[in-house]
Structure 1
Amino acid sequence: MKVLLTVTSLLLSTALLLVGHGLQLTLLPLRASFTGMSEFIIGLSASSYFLGFIAGCLLIPLIIRRVGHIRGFAVLTAIMICSLLSLEMLDYWPAWLVLRFLTGVAISGLYTVIESWLNSQATPESRGRILSTYTFITLVAMLAGQFLINVGPVDSSVPFSLATLFLALAILPVGMTRRMAPQPVETTQIRFTLLYKRSRSAFAGALLSGLVAGSFWSLGAVFAKSYSVTAMEITWFMSAAIGGGALLQYPIGMLSDKIDRRLVLALLCIGGALTSAAVAWSIGQAWYLAMVFLFGAMVLPIYAISLATAADVSAPEEFVEIGTSVLLLNAVGAAIAPLPLGQLMAVAGASALFWSFAAICLLMGFFLALQMRHPRTISVEQQTPFEAAGNDGAPVGFELDPRGNDDLEPAPAEDLDELADTNRER
Structure 2
Amino acid sequence: MQHAAVPVPRDRLIVPVLGLFLFAIAAGFLMSLLPLSLSGRGLSAELAAWLASAFYAGLLLGAMRIEPVVRVLGHRRALVAFLSLLAMTVVAMSLWSSAALWLGARLVAGAATAGIFVVVESWLLLVDDERQRARRLALYMTALYGGNALGQILITPVGVAGSLPFALVGLLLVLALLPPLLVRRGAPRLQVHHRLGLRAVKRLSRPAVLGCWVSGLLLGPLYGLLPLYLIQRPELAGQSGPMMALLIVGGMGVQPIAGALSARYSRTLLLALFNLMGMLGILVLLLAESVVGIGMALVLVGAAAFALYPVAIAQACQGQANSRIVSITELMLLCYSLGSVVGPLLAQWSTGSLTQLPLYLGIVFSATSIYMLVQAAAGTESAVMEPPAGLD
Matched to 1:359, the amino acid is I
Distance, in Å, in 2 between the alignment partners of 1:348 and 1:33 is: 26
Indicate which of 321, 325, 331 corresponds to 2:331. Answer: 325
Indicate which of 274, 298, 303 corresponds to 1:297. Answer: 303
Distance, in Å, in 1 between the alignment partners of 2:44 and 2:370 is: 39
Quote the offset at 1:302 in angstroms.
1.0
Tell me if structure 2 keeps the 8 A contact 1:77–1:110: yes
Counterpart in the other structure of 2:371: 367
Quote the offset at 1:288 in angstroms.
1.8
Quote the offset at 1:165 in angstroms.
2.0
Counterpart in the other structure of 2:275: 269
- Between 1:212-221 and 1:66-75, the stretch displaced more is 66-75
- Between 1:52-61 and 1:155-164, the stretch displaced more is 155-164
Counterpart in the other structure of 1:358: 362
- Alpha-carbon displacement from aligned partner over 1:230-283 (angstroms, at most 9, x marks no partner): 6xx444223211211221233345445555433332232233234235435547
- Between 1:126-135 and 1:284-293, the stretch displaced more is 126-135
Quote the offset at 1:195 in angstroms.
4.0
Indicate which of 2, 7, 18 corresponds to 2:24. Answer: 18
Counterpart in the other structure of 1:189: 196
Tell me if structure 1 keeps the 8 A contact 2:118–2:333: no
Counterpart in the other structure of 2:45: 37
Quote the offset at 1:113 in angstroms.
3.8
Tell me if structure 1 keeps the 8 A contact 2:212–2:336: yes
Q: 1:65 to 1:125 in 2, by over 3 A?
A: closer
Three-state SS of the structure 2 residue aligned to 1:292 is helix
Indicate which of 267, 285, 295 corresponds to 2:291. Answer: 285
Give 1:223-234 correspondences, 5 Å limit.
Answer: 223-224=229-230, 233-234=239-240
> What is the root-mean-square deviation of aligned Cα atoms in Å?
4.0
Tell me if structure 2 keeps the 8 A contact 1:198–1:313: no
Give 1:49-64 correspondences, 5 Å limit.
Answer: 49-64=55-70
Q: Does 1:153 align with 2:159?
A: yes
Q: Does 1:348 align with 2:353?
A: yes
Give 1:379-398 correspondences, 5 Å limit.
Answer: none
Q: 1:283 to 1:168 in 2, by over 3 A?
A: farther
Q: 1:4 to 1:47 in 2, by over 3 A?
A: same
Distance, in Å, in 2 between the alignment partners of 1:375 and 1:178 is: 43
Three-state SS of the structure 1 residue aligned to 2:310 is helix
Tell me if structure 1 keeps the 8 A contact 2:25–2:150: yes
Q: 1:283 to 1:215 in 2, by over 3 A?
A: farther
Matched to 2:242, the amino acid is W
Matched to 2:353, the amino acid is A
Give 1:66-77 correspondences, 5 Å limit.
Answer: 72-77=78-83
| TM superposition score normalised by structure 1 | 0.71
- Alpha-carbon displacement from aligned partner over 1:96-154 (angstroms, at most 9, x marks no partner): 4322211111112223444455567x675995465554444334323322321222334
Structure 2 segments unaligned to the other structure (5+ residues):
1-7
- Alpha-carbon displacement from aligned partner over 1:131-185 (angstroms, at most 9, x marks no partner): 5544443343233223212223346554433222211221233323353765569
Quote the offset at 1:206 in angstroms.
1.6
Counterpart in the other structure of 1:383: none
- Alpha-carbon displacement from aligned partner over 1:364-417 (angstroms, at most 9, x marks no partner): 233334435534368xxxxxxxxxxxxxxxxxxxxxxxxxxxxxxx7x945x99
Structure 1 segments unaligned to the other structure (5+ residues):
379-409, 418-426
Counterpart in the other structure of 1:165: 171
Distance, in Å, in 2 between the alignment partners of 1:8 and 1:202 is: 27
Q: 1:94 to 1:328 in 2, by over 3 A?
A: same
Matched to 1:261, the amino acid is R
Indicate which of 196, 214, 219 corresponds to 1:213. Answer: 219
- Between 1:270-279 and 1:104-113, the stretch displaced more is 270-279
Q: 1:322 to 1:98 in 2, by over 3 A?
A: same
Distance, in Å, in 1 between the alignment partners of 2:11 and 2:370 is: 46
Identity %: 25
Matched to 2:313, the amino acid is L
Matched to 2:45, the amino acid is M
Distance, in Å, in 2 between the alignment partners of 1:126 and 1:368 is: 22
Matched to 1:147, the amino acid is I
Counterpart in the other structure of 2:253: 247
Distance, in Å, in 1 between the alignment partners of 2:125 and 2:266 is: 28
Matched to 1:293, the amino acid is V
Q: Does 1:103 align with 2:115?
A: no
Tell me if structure 2 keeps the 8 A contact 1:199–1:313: no
Quote the offset at 1:210 in angstroms.
0.9
Distance, in Å, in 1 between the alignment partners of 2:68 and 2:203 is: 28
Three-state SS of the structure 2 residue aligned to 1:13 is helix
| TM superposition score normalised by structure 2 | 0.76
Distance, in Å, in 2 between the alignment partners of 1:33 and 1:196 is: 46
The aligned length equals 375
Distance, in Å, in 2 between the alignment partners of 1:280 and 1:32 is: 34
